[in-house]
Amino acid sequence: MGNFCYICLSVTSHYHIMKLYTGKDINKLTELIPANSGVFAIIDNKVEDYFSAMKNWKIFPLRALESSKTLGTAAHICSWLMENKADRDCFIIGAGGGVTTDLAGFVASVYKRGVRFGLVPTTLLSSADAALGGKNGVNHLRVKNMIGTITQPEWVFQSPVFFRTLQRRVFTEGIAEMLKTFLIFSPDLYAFCVSFFKSYNHRNPSEKEERLLERLVRECARLKMEVVKKDERDHGERMVLNLGHTFAHALEGWAAANHRKILHGEAVAAGIVASAKAAAIMGICPKSLASELSEDFHSVGLKTSFGVSFSKIFNTMQQDKKASGEILTLILPLGIGNVARYLITASDLRKACGRLVI
């Protein structure tokens, strides 16, 4: 297998084993396709060239935009599958950033009531986060991921080779989700990551640096899947992964409504800092934490504020999927390596955060 390695991550509730493959040789993907299955690949049109050797795949080239992560696009892909006679034994591949892997996973989990699928994340963000954990979905009425499923792919194939062609801004937003995971679970890896990314040149990394990045992404995936396998349906422990996300999703909703471009990872960085500020206002973490995190995020190229006042995103925050009636569930940082789930009424949240600018 050469430098192609895999780890099994079992999600016990479904007796399902998701295999995580990592390696530089993209052609190894052909070994992962089940025998006698037609392959239908939904591929981000910016990465199609990487797959030019896959002559037997039927390809749906996707123009991956957050605004195209919709039921309409999912229905369009289903029509294409039907036209191309994809049967229940077909194998779907989603290759691209988080928009593509979320959409492809969603289509695979509903087409003919569900067919087998594998994901090939090609952004840092989708490799370290979006393609892992089985959450698939689309946005609806400007609310992020409002319609979706939790279905695990058979495998995820990660390769750092894809990152070399990413725009700087897209590469950098991926760092935010990695820092989030390490901030929750591993202060040592968090600190290591901050210093590693300060000088990482993603377009022209040395062999050694790229190998290190591959290991960091794999470690990030392992930490995420450890918690996913304990709480696949996201009713308890898994919620910690939403650190910063209630603010982030609301900020993304605001951006979509106001024709502003804020990438998911950028919103997550701002959301984490906003959560630290909220936690300090509530007296559950030191005031210095927000500035410490802000400094770390800036040092790797991430902005932490978009100048949006809390009142502009408050209504969208109330539509968060984790909200139950008047009560919102926030994941708040108490320190590096220490986060807590916090239930708060919408009116108390408004009182506490009314003056925040995110």
Ligand X SMILES: NC(=O)c1ccc[n+]([C@@H]2O[C@H](COP(=O)([O-])OP(=O)(O)OC[C@H]3O[C@@H](n4cnc5c(N)ncnc54)[C@H](O)[C@@H]3O)[C@@H](O)[C@H]2O)c1
The answer for residues whose C-beta is within 8 angstroms of residue 238's C-beta and 6 or more apart is: 133, 227, 228, 230, 231, 232
Q: How far is the CB of 284 from ligand X (least distance, A)?
A: 26
By beta-carbon distance, which residue lies closest to ligand X? 98
Task: Choose between 47 and 358: whose C-beta lies nearer to ligand X.
Answer: 47
Task: Choose between 34 and 236: whose C-beta lies nearer to ligand X.
Answer: 236
Cβ distance 40 to 93 under 8 Å? yes
Q: How far is the CB of 318 from ligand X (least distance, A)?
A: 19
Q: How far is the CB of 47 from ligand X (least distance, A)?
A: 5
Q: How far is the CB of 89 from ligand X (least distance, A)?
A: 25
SS (HEC) of the chain: CCCCEEEEEEEHHHCEEEEEEECCCHHHHHHHCCCCCCEEEEEECCCHHHHCCCCCCEEEEECCCHHHCCHHHHHHHHHHHHHCCCCCCCEEEEEECHHHHHHHHHHHHHHHHCCEEEEEECCHHHHHHHCCCCEEEEEECCEEEEEEEECCCCEEEECHHHHHHCCHHHHHHHHHHHHHHHHHHCHHHHHHHHHHHHCCCCCCCCHHHHHHHHHHHHHHHHHHHHHHHHCCCCCCHHHHHHCCHHHHHHHHHHHHHCCCCCCHHHHHHHHHHHHHHHHHHCCCCCCHHHHHHHHHHHHCCCCCCCCCEHHHHHHHHHCCCCCECCEEEEEEEEECCEEEEEEEEHHHHHHHHCCCEC
Cβ distance 33 to 39 under 8 Å? yes
Task: Choose between 268 and 328: whose C-beta lies nearer to ligand X.
Answer: 268
Question: Which parts of this chain interact with ligand X (CB under 6 A)?
Answer: 44, 46-47, 64, 66, 69, 96-100, 102, 122-123, 125-126, 129-130, 133, 135, 144-145, 162, 165-166, 170, 173, 263-265
Task: Choose between 219 and 252: whose C-beta lies nearer to ligand X.
Answer: 252
Q: How far is the CB of 65 from ligand X (least distance, A)?
A: 7
Q: How far is the CB of 308 from ligand X (least distance, A)?
A: 18
Q: How far is the CB of 219 from ligand X (least distance, A)?
A: 17
Altogether, the residues listed in the chain come to a count of: 358
Distance set, CA 95 to CA 29, 49, 51, 123, 125 (Å): 11, 12, 9, 10, 13
Q: How far is the CB of 310 from ligand X (least distance, A)?
A: 21
Q: How far is the CB of 230 from ligand X (least distance, A)?
A: 16
